[in-house]
Copies of this chain bind each other. A is one copy, B any other.
Protein backbone atom coordinates (compact mmCIF):
# COMPACT_ATOMS: atom_id res chain seq x y z
CA UNK A 1 0.00 0.00 0.00
CA UNK A 2 1.36 3.42 -0.88
CA UNK A 3 1.48 6.07 1.78
CA UNK A 4 -1.78 7.90 1.78
CA UNK A 5 -2.28 11.62 1.86
CA UNK A 6 -1.84 12.38 5.55
CA UNK A 7 -4.71 14.84 5.84
CA UNK A 8 -7.54 14.04 3.48
CA UNK A 9 -9.62 17.03 2.53
CA UNK A 10 -13.28 16.46 1.94
CA UNK A 11 -16.72 17.98 2.00
CA UNK A 12 -19.30 16.17 4.07
CA UNK A 13 -22.96 16.72 3.37
CA UNK A 14 -26.17 15.15 4.51
CA UNK A 15 -27.39 14.58 8.03
CA UNK A 16 -27.50 10.84 8.62
CA UNK A 17 -24.48 9.74 10.59
CA UNK A 18 -25.34 6.10 10.08
CA UNK A 19 -25.22 6.22 6.29
CA UNK A 20 -22.30 7.15 4.14
CA UNK A 21 -21.87 7.13 0.42
CA UNK A 22 -18.27 7.39 -0.71
CA UNK A 23 -18.50 9.34 -3.93
CA UNK A 24 -15.45 8.64 -6.07
CA UNK A 25 -15.45 11.38 -8.61
CA UNK A 26 -14.42 11.53 -12.18
CA UNK A 27 -12.30 14.06 -13.95
CA UNK A 28 -10.07 12.96 -16.81
CA UNK A 29 -8.54 16.22 -17.70
CA UNK A 30 -11.62 18.38 -17.30
CA UNK A 31 -9.95 20.26 -14.47
CA UNK A 32 -12.14 22.46 -12.41
CA UNK A 33 -14.94 22.71 -14.91
CA UNK A 34 -16.58 19.42 -14.19
CA UNK A 35 -16.07 17.98 -10.72
CA UNK A 36 -18.60 15.56 -12.10
CA UNK A 37 -20.42 15.05 -8.84
CA UNK A 38 -23.50 17.20 -9.12
CA UNK A 39 -22.94 20.00 -6.59
CA UNK A 40 -26.65 20.41 -5.98
CA UNK A 41 -28.29 17.08 -6.67
CA UNK A 42 -31.89 17.06 -5.50
CA UNK A 43 -32.35 14.80 -2.49
CA UNK A 44 -29.14 12.87 -2.80
CA UNK A 45 -27.02 14.46 -0.10
CA UNK A 46 -29.91 14.16 2.26
CA UNK A 47 -30.67 11.72 3.91
CA UNK A 48 -27.19 10.31 3.32
CA UNK A 49 -23.88 11.57 4.39
CA UNK A 50 -21.85 11.85 1.22
CA UNK A 51 -18.12 11.81 1.60
CA UNK A 52 -16.55 12.63 -1.74
CA UNK A 53 -13.28 10.78 -1.93
CA UNK A 54 -12.26 13.25 -4.56
CA UNK A 55 -8.78 13.60 -3.22
CA UNK A 56 -7.57 10.53 -5.02
CA UNK A 57 -9.19 11.19 -8.39
CA UNK A 58 -9.23 14.89 -9.22
CA UNK A 59 -10.06 18.26 -7.72
CA UNK A 60 -7.42 17.73 -5.09
CA UNK A 61 -4.75 19.81 -3.45
CA UNK A 62 -2.80 16.64 -2.79
CA UNK A 63 -0.85 14.27 -5.02
CA UNK A 64 -2.64 11.73 -7.19
CA UNK A 65 -1.08 8.26 -7.50
CA UNK A 66 -0.63 7.01 -11.06
CA UNK A 67 -2.33 3.64 -10.57
CA UNK A 68 -5.91 2.80 -9.63
CA UNK A 69 -4.59 0.29 -7.10
CA UNK A 70 -2.90 3.11 -5.22
CA UNK A 71 -5.93 5.38 -5.63
CA UNK A 72 -8.10 2.61 -4.19
CA UNK A 73 -5.73 2.43 -1.23
CA UNK A 74 -6.31 6.16 -0.74
CA UNK A 75 -10.05 5.55 -0.58
CA UNK A 76 -9.44 2.89 2.08
CA UNK A 77 -7.32 5.27 4.13
CA UNK A 78 -9.86 8.03 3.66
CA UNK A 79 -12.70 5.81 4.89
CA UNK A 80 -10.61 4.79 7.88
CA UNK A 81 -9.89 8.42 8.76
CA UNK A 82 -13.64 9.05 8.73
CA UNK A 83 -14.18 6.02 10.96
CA UNK A 84 -16.30 4.21 8.38
CA UNK A 85 -15.82 0.45 8.40
CA UNK A 86 -18.18 -0.10 5.48
CA UNK A 87 -19.44 2.28 2.81
CA UNK A 88 -21.68 2.41 -0.24
CA UNK A 89 -19.50 3.47 -3.14
CA UNK A 90 -20.58 5.59 -6.10
CA UNK A 91 -17.93 5.69 -8.82
CA UNK A 92 -18.43 7.86 -11.90
CA UNK A 93 -16.30 7.57 -15.05
CA UNK A 94 -12.67 6.98 -13.98
CA UNK A 95 -14.04 7.12 -10.46
CA UNK A 96 -15.70 3.85 -11.49
CA UNK A 97 -12.29 2.34 -12.19
CA UNK A 98 -11.22 3.32 -8.67
CA UNK A 99 -14.49 2.03 -7.23
CA UNK A 100 -14.13 -1.38 -8.93
CA UNK A 101 -10.51 -1.62 -7.77
CA UNK A 102 -11.41 -0.57 -4.23
CA UNK A 103 -14.21 -3.16 -4.12
CA UNK A 104 -11.87 -5.92 -5.31
CA UNK A 105 -9.04 -4.93 -2.94
CA UNK A 106 -11.24 -4.22 0.12
CA UNK A 107 -14.32 -6.40 -0.34
CA UNK A 108 -15.29 -6.20 3.33
CA UNK A 109 -15.36 -2.41 3.18
CA UNK A 110 -18.06 -2.13 0.51
CA UNK A 111 -21.73 -2.81 1.13
CA UNK A 112 -23.18 -1.75 -2.24
CA UNK A 113 -21.64 -0.36 -5.40
CA UNK A 114 -22.95 2.13 -7.98
CA UNK A 115 -21.01 2.42 -11.24
CA UNK A 116 -21.95 5.29 -13.57
CA UNK A 117 -20.58 5.99 -17.05
CA UNK A 118 -17.70 3.62 -16.60
CA UNK A 119 -16.04 0.50 -17.97
CA UNK A 120 -14.33 -2.70 -16.88
CA UNK A 121 -10.56 -3.14 -17.13
CA UNK A 122 -9.71 -3.78 -20.80
CA UNK A 123 -13.17 -2.64 -21.89
CA UNK A 124 -14.48 -1.63 -25.30
CA UNK A 125 -13.15 1.61 -26.79
CA UNK A 126 -14.99 1.36 -30.12
CA UNK A 127 -17.60 4.10 -30.15
CA UNK A 128 -15.39 6.68 -28.43
CA UNK A 129 -15.75 9.94 -30.35
CA UNK A 130 -12.43 10.86 -32.06
CA UNK A 131 -12.61 14.44 -30.69
CA UNK A 132 -12.94 13.38 -27.05
CA UNK A 133 -9.27 13.42 -26.09
CA UNK A 134 -8.69 16.81 -27.72
CA UNK A 135 -11.74 18.48 -26.14
CA UNK A 136 -11.21 16.89 -22.74
CA UNK A 137 -7.72 18.37 -22.61
CA UNK A 138 -8.78 21.96 -23.20
CA UNK A 139 -7.11 23.96 -20.42
CA UNK A 140 -10.28 25.93 -19.68
CA UNK A 141 -13.21 23.87 -20.86
CA UNK A 142 -16.23 25.98 -21.67
CA UNK A 143 -19.92 25.17 -21.75
CA UNK A 144 -19.70 23.99 -25.34
CA UNK A 145 -16.93 21.49 -24.50
CA UNK A 146 -18.89 20.35 -21.51
CA UNK A 147 -22.10 19.75 -23.49
CA UNK A 148 -20.14 17.85 -26.15
CA UNK A 149 -18.50 15.53 -23.63
CA UNK A 150 -21.37 14.87 -21.23
CA UNK A 151 -24.64 15.40 -23.12
CA UNK A 152 -26.31 14.55 -26.41
CA UNK A 153 -26.60 17.03 -29.28
CA UNK A 154 -30.36 17.31 -28.77
CA UNK A 155 -32.46 20.18 -27.48
CA UNK A 156 -33.61 18.27 -24.39
CA UNK A 157 -30.18 16.99 -23.45
CA UNK A 158 -28.47 20.35 -23.99
CA UNK A 159 -31.10 22.12 -21.91
CA UNK A 160 -30.39 19.66 -19.08
CA UNK A 161 -26.67 20.28 -19.57
CA UNK A 162 -27.12 24.03 -19.22
CA UNK A 163 -29.23 23.54 -16.09
CA UNK A 164 -26.44 21.40 -14.61
CA UNK A 165 -23.89 24.05 -15.59
CA UNK A 166 -25.94 26.58 -13.60
CA UNK A 167 -26.20 24.25 -10.58
CA UNK A 168 -22.51 23.58 -10.47
CA UNK A 169 -21.80 27.27 -10.08
CA UNK A 170 -24.12 27.60 -7.11
CA UNK A 171 -21.55 26.48 -4.60
CA UNK A 172 -19.26 29.36 -3.69
CA UNK A 173 -17.67 28.07 -0.50
CA UNK A 174 -15.54 24.95 -0.18
CA UNK A 175 -15.20 24.90 -3.96
CA UNK A 176 -13.05 22.00 -5.12
CA UNK A 177 -9.61 22.98 -6.37
CA UNK A 178 -8.78 22.53 -10.05
CA UNK A 179 -7.00 19.39 -11.12
CA UNK A 180 -3.30 19.93 -11.30
CA UNK A 181 -0.93 18.99 -14.13
CA UNK A 182 0.35 16.27 -11.78
CA UNK A 183 -3.15 14.81 -11.35
CA UNK A 184 -3.81 14.87 -15.07
CA UNK A 185 -0.57 13.09 -15.91
CA UNK A 186 -1.09 10.50 -13.19
CA UNK A 187 -4.62 9.77 -14.41
CA UNK A 188 -3.46 9.45 -18.01
CA UNK A 189 -0.93 6.79 -16.93
CA UNK A 190 -3.52 5.00 -14.84
CA UNK A 191 -6.05 5.01 -17.69
CA UNK A 192 -3.57 3.66 -20.24
CA UNK A 193 -2.85 0.73 -17.91
CA UNK A 194 -6.57 0.21 -17.19
CA UNK A 195 -7.31 -0.20 -20.90
CA UNK A 196 -4.93 -3.17 -21.18
CA UNK A 197 -6.30 -6.66 -20.85
CA UNK A 198 -4.68 -9.01 -18.36
CA UNK A 199 -5.44 -12.73 -18.57
CA UNK A 200 -9.02 -13.74 -19.25
CA UNK A 201 -10.99 -10.68 -20.28
CA UNK A 202 -13.41 -9.40 -17.62
CA UNK A 203 -12.62 -12.34 -15.31
CA UNK A 204 -12.13 -10.10 -12.26
CA UNK A 205 -15.73 -8.86 -12.48
CA UNK A 206 -16.97 -12.24 -11.29
CA UNK A 207 -15.27 -11.52 -7.95
CA UNK A 208 -17.42 -8.45 -7.24
CA UNK A 209 -19.98 -9.97 -4.91
CA UNK A 210 -21.66 -6.76 -3.78
CA UNK A 211 -25.09 -5.78 -5.09
CA UNK A 212 -24.22 -3.38 -7.90
CA UNK A 213 -26.19 -0.77 -9.81
CA UNK A 214 -24.72 0.07 -13.24
CA UNK A 215 -25.94 3.30 -14.89
CA UNK A 216 -25.17 5.08 -18.12
CA UNK A 217 -26.59 7.27 -20.85
CA UNK A 218 -27.84 5.74 -24.05
CA UNK A 219 -24.96 7.17 -26.13
CA UNK A 220 -21.82 7.77 -24.12
CA UNK A 221 -19.09 9.07 -26.45
CA UNK A 222 -16.41 9.09 -23.72
CA UNK A 223 -16.88 5.60 -22.24
CA UNK A 224 -19.04 3.69 -24.77
CA UNK A 225 -22.31 2.47 -23.29
CA UNK A 226 -21.71 -1.17 -24.24
CA UNK A 227 -19.23 -1.24 -21.33
CA UNK A 228 -22.11 -0.76 -18.91
CA UNK A 229 -23.89 -3.69 -20.49
CA UNK A 230 -20.73 -5.79 -20.09
CA UNK A 231 -20.33 -4.74 -16.43
CA UNK A 232 -23.92 -5.74 -15.65
CA UNK A 233 -23.55 -9.02 -17.53
CA UNK A 234 -20.34 -10.04 -15.74
CA UNK A 235 -20.84 -8.76 -12.20
CA UNK A 236 -22.89 -11.55 -10.60
CA UNK A 237 -25.47 -9.39 -8.81
CA UNK A 238 -25.81 -6.27 -10.96
CA UNK A 239 -28.75 -4.26 -12.21
CA UNK A 240 -28.35 -2.11 -15.32
CA UNK A 241 -30.18 1.15 -16.03
CA UNK A 242 -29.57 3.05 -19.27
CA UNK A 243 -31.22 6.47 -19.66
CA UNK A 244 -32.49 7.70 -23.01
CA UNK A 245 -31.29 10.63 -25.08
CA UNK A 246 -28.21 11.14 -22.92
CA UNK A 247 -24.48 10.58 -22.76
CA UNK A 248 -21.66 10.31 -20.25
CA UNK A 249 -23.39 12.74 -17.87
CA UNK A 250 -26.69 10.86 -17.65
CA UNK A 251 -26.82 11.28 -13.87
CA UNK A 252 -26.67 15.07 -14.31
CA UNK A 253 -29.32 15.01 -17.03
CA UNK A 254 -31.80 13.02 -14.92
CA UNK A 255 -30.91 13.99 -11.34
CA UNK A 256 -34.35 13.21 -9.89
CA UNK A 257 -34.71 9.92 -11.72
CA UNK A 258 -31.16 8.85 -10.91
CA UNK A 259 -31.57 9.71 -7.25
CA UNK A 260 -34.86 7.83 -7.13
CA UNK A 261 -33.27 4.73 -8.67
CA UNK A 262 -30.15 4.97 -6.50
CA UNK A 263 -32.20 5.57 -3.34
CA UNK A 264 -34.34 2.51 -3.97
CA UNK A 265 -31.20 0.46 -4.61
CA UNK A 266 -29.47 1.65 -1.44
CA UNK A 267 -32.44 1.74 0.91
CA UNK A 268 -33.83 -1.78 0.63
CA UNK A 269 -32.70 -4.23 3.30
CA UNK A 270 -32.49 -6.98 0.72
CA UNK A 271 -30.95 -5.63 -2.45
CA UNK A 272 -33.25 -5.66 -5.48
CA UNK A 273 -36.51 -6.12 -3.66
Interface residues, chain A, CB within 8 Å of chain B? 211, 218, 225, 229, 232-233, 236-245, 254, 256-257, 260-261, 264, 272-273
Contacts and interface: CB of A to CB of B under 8 A. Distances in A.
Task: Give the residue among A236, A239, A241, A245 with the most B Cβ atoms within 10 A.
Answer: A239
Given A218-B232, A264-B260, A240 B241 contact: yes
B238 A244 contact: yes
Contacts of A242: 229, 232, 239-240
Contacts of A218: 232-233, 238
B243 A256 contact: no
A239 B250 CA distance: 11
A237 B244 CA distance: 5
Contact of A273 (B238, B256, B261): B256
A232 to B, nearest CB: 6
A239 B273 CA distance: 20
Contact of A239 (B237, B238, B244, B260): B244
